[in-house]
Chain A
Amino acid sequence: MARHTGRGISAIEYPTGMNQNGDPSQAWIKIKPDGRVDVFSGTSDIGNGSKTIQSQIVAEALGVPYEWITYDNSNTDSSPVCTGTFASRATFVAGNAVLKAARSAREKLLEIAGKELEIDPSDLDVVDGEVIAKGAPQKKISVPDVAAAATWVHGELITGTGAQLNPYAAIVEPDTGKVDIPPHAAISYAACAAEVEVDDETGEVVVKGLWQCFDVGRAINPTLVEGQIEGGALMGLGLGVLESCYPYYPSVEHRGSEFGSYLAPGIEGLPEFNTIVIENPSADGPYGAKGISEMANNPQPPAIAAAVYDAVGVWVTELPITPERVLRALDRKAAGDAGPRREGKAVIFDEELSVNTVAHPESRFRFPVGA
């Protein structure tokens, strides 16, 4: 009886935005008389950090400090449409909406500043909360002074609106699945290596290390990106080795109904994380960003499954890879029954799980096996 170490890898891709698109987000911005900025967006923050990310985008686009931004997503009377925080769309789609709103507010800001400085707005820039003349930075006016002038001198309100909508991609050939335009806003990519330790006596799989590389397009906030990747990895560990609503699926018996009877990852026993972020900018994302929030729990389960095979020579393809499943697979291997079956050029795994074995011979659900 021994503990065996193994390593496995995976490579994945994941789309940004709703599949087939057609999912709008809108935003608007107003600037107070002292230059402070109110952002109204309909994006729910589900812990993904969208309040922070969207505030950073607005600060960058307007050229004012992050601390000047107040972000309000609290209600539908003041905030416009956001399709929602799902489909890895809050940074890209809703982020583009606030970016466009900020750019439109910036235009209005420069128009007022141009009147104050008597300089054409196209010759002005905003840097760190000051409007400066390009090439002559001594000619400047602070954003608070511009906002005050707008309010008290010019009788204007500095606002901006923005909306992002990637058009709906229709399936033009229902028999082949062909679509007319790209059905995603962007695609993100990741690769992963997992190192596991498998106890051949207890069947327990412990994930010791995870090396993960994500192409995020552009990390608007590297700390939050790393949090997404490592937090998502914990969910991937749950999928891979711990969690199941139905421990005897497809049976519905023995469902866990409380934390004590449902095994989810905790903060204890974390693997060692090695996180690599690369930035191949998306052509259409805000500052090149793509969405990675959902895919963060996708690469671990297959890397773990391959690592378990590397460690003890059995494939477990029903998740989670529980001690019971590992031990049953080891028993089959010891009995010389671990598969695959070979027939001509066919290499056939998992026959016992297939519809061909489980379904009625006359069932619509059959799958061709064998070449």
Chain B
Amino acid sequence: MIVDVSAEVLENVRLSPEFNVLSLAAPAVARLTRPGQFVMVRVRPGLDPLLRRPFSVFEILRDDAGQPRGISLLNKIAGVGTGWLYRAEPGTRVDVLGPLGQPFAPVDPPAEAWMVAGGVGLAPFATLAEALALRGTSMTLFYGARTAEALYRTDLFERLGARLSLSTDDGSRGAHGRITGPLEQALDALDGRPVTIYACGPTPMMRAVSALAAHRDAPVFVSLEPVMGCGMGGCYSCVVRVQAGERGRFVRSCLEGPVFDASTLVWEALPAGH
């Protein structure tokens, strides 16, 4: 079931000069969304920008009785549309189409779940962490950003019982350097315990995570965010290459993704940009 709702902006929390969390009144979308699914957002009426933008559902917002009342989006300014969403004022409206795409499959105990997030790649993991907490799956969030100030909303994950392993490019919080450093150390310390890894972030990061895990037989599921025109399978713009035969084949990430088993992707064919 896919719905298109005109959603009121409930709150806009600007986390930094380029990141914000936009809370939207969209109970119908919130009820239907499963972990890791996305929505297509029309940032304002009119013809420019023309197309919707894809966003992972960040949080499912609930009322006091626990009923879903809306969703939030983790937004990073990357262009005109995301700029509008950064500035969106409470009381204004945006059109939200969804939920769309294949969700994460949350792993059950005794396997552990490790979520590896780079920058705005944190977005699909709040819903996954909720699902993992319900299953009683032990989880860790590996989360890297440029600086300590750019590590957002770790409280959401701590509240759900996730351990945190952080890194920053400048060493201002957590490990100094890329998040793949702490991840590799943790993999080396696994000692045979089963783990399933979920990753979202810049393509080089996801590719590196996939390579590290492949050596240790840990399954990796990545959430991709390619350029997307419609989100419905109509336009064929969001294709990624998956392994098939000698050369592989293009599949639509809006329908067959955005979550993919990393071992099925042809990484060389993915654009390096995020």
Binding partners A and B: no
B interface residues (Cβ-Cβ under 8 A, vs A): none
A interface residues (Cβ-Cβ under 8 A, vs B): none
